[in-house]
Structure 1
Amino acid sequence: MRRSLILMGLTGLLPIVVLGAAYGAVTLREQRAALDRQAALASRSTARLVGREIAATLDAVKMISRSPSLDSGINRPIFTRLGLRLMEDHPDWAALSIADLDGNRVLDLPKPIGGALGKVVEPGSLAAAIRTRQPQVGLVVPGPDRMTAFAVRAPVIQDGAPRYVVSAVVPVRAMQHLLYTESVPADWRLRLIDARGTVVAQSGTVGDEEMAAIVTSVPESGWRVEVAVPRGSFAALTRQTRWVLVGGGVLALAVFAALAFALAVELRRYRQRQAATVQAQRLEALGRLTGGVAHDLNNLLTPILGGLDLLRGRTGDDPKAQRYIDSATHSAERARSLVARLLAYAKRQALTPEAIDVPTMLADLHELLQRSVGPTIGCTIHSAQDLPPVRADRNQLELAVLNLVINARDAIKTGGRLSGTIVIAARPPRREDLRGLARGDYLALAVHDDGCGMDAATLRRAMEPFFTTKAGDRGTGLGLSMVHGFAEQSAGRLVLESAPGQGTSATLILPVTDAPPAVADDARDRPTRTAEILLVDDDPAVREAAAEVLRAHGHQVAEAESLSQGMAALADAPGTALIITDYMMPGGTGGEFIARARDAGMPQPFLLLTGYTDAAEDLPGDVPQLRKPFRERELLDAVDALLG
């Protein structure tokens, strides 16, 4: 009997141990491969960043080596002015220098390196630039001012032969930030090494622990990026696997059934997490693609709408032509609305707060909301008397209400129900709704349903992105998170209250404003004042359409397609009364353009044309924005408001 029991135990234990060992080996190999892939990806990504940085510096130095101020000798005043401007655009440069073919520095900007002119510190790259007649990246060396740096050099070619060498001196600390763009474990080490093996920059752990390194070259400079992973990371995986195998072998017979059940549960959860991760990645990629496509569509729709508005005024009383123009304008407006929804979905829509009469907005939305929930669910609206307007983005507020109503509909239909009630109420907020908000007056917009409700655990996670209790083909988990983000961005909050079987109340708390709600004004056909206007936009179609609209109403318009051209045009036309600029354009952003113009003492007001400005951190808060695509009346009204 004892032998039978032992044999049965060994028979049951042996396959479990073998399977556990195989599973542990596969897991170890996959985890090690994942570490290798992560290290290789970090190395390649950092090398690309370094390469782009070096290439940009090479292009800049090559450009200044071709300056006309170096055509016949060195025109020091002109070159100094150009060089200092270039250094303003490259704040990481420590110096800009010109040396002759013997390595003697003849001009250093902004001041002599080390206090006096002399020989170049690292002559090897200077000789290579003269020999090859191509830009070169020098070695990392300590300079006379005790600053470790490298030089980026380009020869000045005159009459087919090198005459001088222009060099930009870049401190190694300027490359340090490139190593922090990759998110890697704290015990990893990233190093940037030059052609001689000198460490240019380094981040991460520096110790005596043995490391496994992955190296990627930077072809633009002859440097290389090294990502080193502690070998102890792999040893730790081995130790963990051994402990799992030993513990599993000892407890295998006693907990075999429980282990099988736990494994099945874990595999199911793992598949759910994997599916959620894949879905999140797809949605993120779709959001980026959607934002980019919508931005391009805005640029395409702007000249279409502008051209149609111009044609409307030039066709006279021809009813057939007016009908064609109205049809085309209606289609363009529908495309404009679709682009706005795409940008809202991609979270790249710049908010434009305005005063909104909430009861009027809800009345306008009621038909759409009722159609969205279906005929079997009643959707009613209750608004308190004499409510002040709120300050928010109208499109985003309407989208938030629609999201909340659709969530309420789905909660009612959970469990096979076909009918229910949704109540939308606009009212003053309760005191507990305002805790933690800034002092001021607010309005509450609540959506209540008599659906299934949520338990405490679900309620805590309801506003997390991608968290959903719906089937995978019915929900993305983005609705409440988008409403929450909109409320926070509007200086308010979203309050959720729910209990199982008692329905859910979702309440938007938004700040009120003393400004009256906007009223459409179509009475004026011409601007109240004409003026000289500078229009800066790198898209020729957008620039031409906007300029034609302005000129058709009496304005004098000068055009530019980049930041530098805009600054030059301002300098040549001090009588300019208004500047209209795009945000993304060659030579810098609209925010940089505004800052440089104001630093130069130019008092003109600015109007920013934008498709979306999700990264416009440098934009002053007092600059009004006009979203693309815009209509003729919208552009003229914005110009009138600034010309005042």
Structure 2
Amino acid sequence: MALLALAASVPLVLLASFAGVLILRQQQEEMQETAREATFNLADTLQREFDAQVNVLKVMAASRAFDNGLDLYEFRDLAERALTTQPNFTAITLNDLTGVRIARVPDDSHIGEQAKDILSHELVVATHQPSVGNVTQFPDEGPVFAVRVPIVRDSKIKGVISTTLKPSVLVTLLQASRLSPEWISLVIDGNDRIVARAGDQGDFASQPGSIASDPARKARQTADAGVYAGRTLDGRSTNAHYRMLPGLRWSVHVAIPDKIYQEPVRRSIFLAVTAGIVALAISGVFVMLLLRELRRGQEVGRKVEDGLRLEALGRVTGGVAHDFNNLLMIMMGGADILKSRSGDSTRVQMIADTIASAAQRGRQLTTHLLAFARRSSHDPISFRIQDRIAHLAVMIERAINPDICLQISIDPHTPAILADPNAFEVALINLAVNASDAMPDGGILTIRAHAWNTFRSPNSVSISVTDTGAGIPQDFQEKIFEPFFSTKPTGKGTGLGLSQVHGFAYQSGGDIHVRSEMGQGSTFTLVMPRSNAPPVPSPLPIVSNEEVEGGRLLIIEDHVEVGSITGEVLRASGFKVKLVESAEEALDVIETDKAFDAVLSDIVLGDGMSGLDAAPRIQSALPNAAVVMMTGYSEALARGATCGFPLVRKPFDQAEVVRVIQSAIAQGPNKEAA
């Protein structure tokens, strides 16, 4: 038995060492995945930070202070208020079209001088779009970088508002990612200079403005995201992931020092060598015992000794077998418990409901943040308020005080208006929330809409929001639409809600009025231009599973688990699903099988062709099929919103994705997008 146990132990030792090597290799792969996810998350965080700064400057640029020229007094007043709410801003400046500094808050230093980072200023003037400049050394401020926004009136740029931020703002963002302190995270600007650096408690710390390493610069020129063999500025090798920010030449890098990254490999080699030595030792013992066993007949005196050895080895073998039985019992018992749970449908349903509820709350939160952070262009269409008010009412009821009674009175003959429907929804919700704040103890909130035709505003539509609150003092009514002005206590309001409503009204060619008396409540009236174009139909209502007619559906999703669960959801909704993991694979499938009613594709598809790039080719190959995009990235949402194809945002539930696909099938293929 001892010989048998030793013979069996050799493959067990080798198998255990092989399993250990696989586990250690998996640790290395997990480090790669963690670094990749951290890079994408940091890039998204940095993009949101830039967008937040841009949004503040956009609010200033839309102020009435610049409607009739560059009013320096009004600019200083706006800038001083903005600085009190934006601690990361070091200064706010106003430049003319040539880049010459006209005004600066908090002081008037360097007035008449040209902008240091003139390239980012010229980019704003040329494109009429915001820009983020590169890190620049200022004698009195040190290293800073600029965020710039144009002041545009009647499609003409009048000037540029800029703010400067210190790289320490970005260092704080990097530190908040909570990566291992031995890992390195970097932000590099469009001039290949390091703006911020965190992690790696070594003896070297790069200063803002240092040139990035050669491998980092070459990788940035090759692709928008990837992995490269990096090297720190003090010569240490790293395994680095990076991602470029959309629309900028800035990038985020997360590097794992080779000493850490190669540690699992070194340990796996040590484990394999040790296991080999142990296996050889056991094999040697096995040979020795075998030789002794063969000499048993010749050495009677050795029989007793061999017997004692076999007895001892038998006891050890029995103990090992007992331990293995205990482990097997735990595994088998756990399996039996899981089997017994399979019939507990009530408990399973309760857990499923809990998960679904938590997911829905998370989805609502991200929706609000995206709406605040993402950069969106003004995209007016013709639509009727009465077609969308039911959906809006649900969102408003969730946003206001539950003690408030919401009343809606929409004239069914109200004409269509010409405006951006998303901005209109945000404006109406802002007015409703403002009214709700005016009625902390409850009251009545009334929304009305009807045709409006006066000498000042002919051929218009009036949308009013009335509350029964305390009213607004007369001396405040001229200021409430100014950016950062708020009657609420510190920390309770940003002063941006009514400013957004004012900006939306004027951007849409309309107007905003307020009528209020102390103790009599307030009425805010949006006056919007009528549309002469036919109204765009509102989204189709959600369809229940019983109403689904099904059809053949091709899903393109590079994340296997997401694709699998999406496919199962749509199969349960009556569709016949074909799942592929890349745009290239989808095009190959379409070559031989064209019997698809719709194609559902993710926008971001790993390192291959994107969904937006593949969509026109798919539409050309399947002219009778509907093409629907899906994504969960804020910048991909901004691109997808203007791509011409229906878009569904992740995470989505069964009813939502079925509604979008069915609506796309019912309306037919998007010829304009194709």
State the TM-score, normalized to the length of structure 2: 0.42
State the TM-score, normalized to the length of structure 1: 0.44
